[in-house]
Structure 1
Amino acid sequence: MQLKKIFHAGLAIAVLAAGSASAAVRPQLTRIIAYTTDKETPVDIVNDSKDPFMVQSWLEDLQGKDTDIPIVLTPPVMKLEGKKQGKLRLVIMKGAVPQDRESVYWLSLQEIPPKAKDVDNRLVVAVRSRLKVFVRPAGFNADGSRKAAEGLTWNIEKEGNKSWIKASNNAAYYVSFGELAVAFPGYKKKRIEEKSEMVPPKGSARYLLPESYKGGKVTITWSGMHDWGGAGAEKTLEVAP
C-alpha cells in the first residue's frame, strides 16, 4: 500500500496548510450494507466538481489494518469525470466472514485532484471520505439491526473519580448511536458527544459521564442508526449504580 501512504502524507500536508476542505468525490450513502447472499454489493460515488478526479479506494478493519480483508473491492483506482457518477463493487468472501454475527469494515475513498494549471503555486487539497461497510451473513436483516438497538441494556460503572454508562448488546448486530444523551439530578438532558464507538455484537461499550455526576440515578436516552443512515426511534431508561 505504498501508493496509499504517499497520498496520506500529501493529504496531511494539504489539510494543515488549507485548514479545511470539502470533498469533491463522495459516496452517495453514509453506510453500506453488504449481504453474503448477494453476488456483489454496489457502492455509488459521485464527483460534485466540474473537474475530473482519480479516485483510489481501499478497505480496512476497525483497527485500521488493511491486510486479510475478506472483501474484494473493484476497481481500486478509477477516473471519475466532472459531475458524473461512478460505481465500486464489493464481493464478500463468504467463507472468510463470521456466520453468527455482523462484521464491519471501513471503506476509504481518496480523491486525487487534477494538477493546477492556472497558478504556479496554487495549493491543491486532496480529501478522503470514509464510510462503514456492514457485512451480514444469511438470515440477517434490517429488522434484526433495529431490534438490537432497542434491546440494549445499561448500567453505571465507576473507577476512581470517573463514571461511565455501559451498554450491553446481546444481539448479533453492531449498534451505532443516532442519539445518546443523559440526565441526572442537577444536570439537564445533554447529548454525549463521544458516542462514535459502536456496541459490538455479544459485547459492550461504555461512555464517559460528565464530571458533575457524583452518583445516583441516570436517565439515558438513545436511538440506533438504521440501515439508511438515519436515527431510529428513541428509547429512555433510568438506571441506578
Structure 2
Amino acid sequence: MKFNKKVVVPMLIGLLIAASGVQAAVRPALTRIVALESDKETPIKLINDDKNHDYLVQSWIEDQQGNDKGLPLILTPPLFKISAGREGRLRMVILPGKIPQDRESVYWLWIQEIPPVSKSKENQLQLAVRTRLKVFVRPTDLKEKSADTLKALTWQVSHEGGKAWLVAKNPTEYYASFSELSVSSAGKKLPLAGKNTMVPAKGEARYALPAGVGGSSQLNYSLINDFGGDTPILHQTVTF
C-alpha cells in the first residue's frame, strides 16, 4: 500500500506540523546518511527515545527541489510502528545505473513521527514532528576521497550589486557542507550568511560578506565529514 505524505493519517487526532522547536521522540541514529551504489542496501537506524509510548513512523525521500517522484532511490517501509524505547530500521536501495556516475548526489530524507492518541483526554493537541537529514548517494567508481574535499576548495572575491561576495569553487566529486564559515576582520569574527548552502560537487557557491568587512581579512572554514563531525578549520587571507 502506498501512503501519501501530504494526507493526514486517519489514526492521528490532533495537529500535524513540522515543528523545529519541539523535541522529537523518534530520531535517526546518525545526522547524515552516506549511501554507496556498491552496497545492496543502506540500513538507516531510528531510535524511539520515549520509553512509554509506541509511535508510527512515516518516511520519504525528496530531491533538493522538493520532488519525490521518479527518484533513483527506494525507501522501505514507508510506514511502520516503532515500540517504546526500541529501535527500528529503514532500508534504502539505489536503483542501478540511475544516478550520475562522475559525482555524488544529495537528497533529503524526511522522518515523521506520529504520536499515539491519548485515551484519557479528548481534544488533546498532538504534534507530529518531522526530522530532515541529508542523504549523500555515491556511485561506485569515484576516484577521489571525500576527506580531500576541504583542502581542494578554492576561493575568489567578486563584486556584484554593490556587494562583495566570496565564491567557493569545488573541483571534487563530493559536496562540501560547512560547519564553520566566517571571516575575521578588525578583531571580530563574523559568520557568513548562507553557511548552510552546500558547494556542489564540481560546482560553486557564493556567500555575501558582512557589512563593514574590507581590506585584508582572514577566512575561516571547516566541513562536516561523513560521520557528522567537523574537519579541522583552515584559514586563508582574502583581500576585498
- Quote the residue 1:150 is aligned against: 151
- Quote the residue 1:240 is aligned against: 239
By how many angstroms is 1:118 displaced? 2.0
- Identity across aligned pairs (percent)? 46
- Quote the residue 1:95 is aligned against: 97
Return the alpha-carbon distance in structure 1 between the equivalents of residues 231 and 225 of structure 2.
6
Asked if the contact 1:219–1:239 (Cα under 8 Å) also holds between the matched residues in 2, the reply is: yes
By how many angstroms is 1:119 displaced? 1.9
Residues 122 and 31 (structure 1), Cα distance of their counterparts in 2 relative to 1, 3 Å cut: same
TM-score under structure 1 length normalisation? 0.90
- Quote the residue 2:221 is aligned against: 222
Return the alpha-carbon distance in structure 1 between the equivalents of residues 91 and 228 of structure 2.
20
Residue 191 of structure 1 aligns with an amino acid whose one-letter code is: P
Return the alpha-carbon distance in structure 1 between the equivalents of residues 145 and 90 of structure 2.
27
- Quote the residue 1:107 is aligned against: 109
Residue 133 of structure 1 aligns with an amino acid whose one-letter code is: V
By how many angstroms is 1:122 displaced? 1.8
By how many angstroms is 1:160 displaced? 2.6
Return the alpha-carbon distance in structure 1 between the equivalents of residues 190 and 120 of structure 2.
49
Asked if the contact 1:150–1:224 (Cα under 8 Å) also holds between the matched residues in 2, the reply is: no
By how many angstroms is 1:193 displaced? 5.4
Residues 11 and 187 (structure 1), Cα distance of their counterparts in 2 relative to 1, 3 Å cut: farther
2:140 aligned with 1:138, yes or no?
yes
Asked if the contact 2:193–2:209 (Cα under 8 Å) also holds between the matched residues in 1, the reply is: no
Asked if the contact 1:58–1:76 (Cα under 8 Å) also holds between the matched residues in 2, the reply is: yes
Residue 204 of structure 1 aligns with an amino acid whose one-letter code is: E
Unaligned stretches of 5+ residues in structure 2: none
Return the alpha-carbon distance in structure 1 between the equivalents of residues 239 and 218 of structure 2.
9
By how many angstroms is 1:140 displaced? 3.6
Return the alpha-carbon distance in structure 1 between the equivalents of residues 184 and 148 of structure 2.
24
Secondary structure of 2:6 counterpart: helix
Asked if the contact 2:16–2:126 (Cα under 8 Å) also holds between the matched residues in 1, the reply is: no
- Quote the residue 2:58 is aligned against: 56
2:126 aligned with 1:127, yes or no?
no
Output one character per residue of 1:134-176: Cα deviation in whole Å (capped at 9) or x when no partner.
01111348x7112112210001122233222110001110000
- Quote the residue 1:37 is aligned against: 38
Return the alpha-carbon distance in structure 2 between the equivalents of residues 211 and 31 of structure 1.
33
Return the alpha-carbon distance in structure 2 between the equivalents of residues 20 and 97 of structure 1.
34
Q: Which moved more, 1:34-43 or 1:146-155?
A: 146-155
Residue 162 of structure 1 aligns with an amino acid whose one-letter code is: K
Return the alpha-carbon distance in structure 2 between the equivalents of residues 155 and 216 of structure 1.
14
Secondary structure of 1:79 counterpart: strand
- Quote the residue 1:203 is aligned against: 203
1:80 to 79, 82, 90: 82
By how many angstroms is 1:187 displaced? 5.3
Residues 75 and 224 (structure 1), Cα distance of their counterparts in 2 relative to 1, 3 Å cut: same
Secondary structure of 2:145 counterpart: helix
2:68 aligned with 1:66, yes or no?
yes
Asked if the contact 1:146–1:224 (Cα under 8 Å) also holds between the matched residues in 2, the reply is: no
By how many angstroms is 1:7 displaced? 4.1
Aligned ranges 1:18-29 → 2 under 5 Å: 20-29=21-30
Asked if the contact 1:104–1:133 (Cα under 8 Å) also holds between the matched residues in 2, the reply is: yes
Question: How many aligned positions are there?
Answer: 234
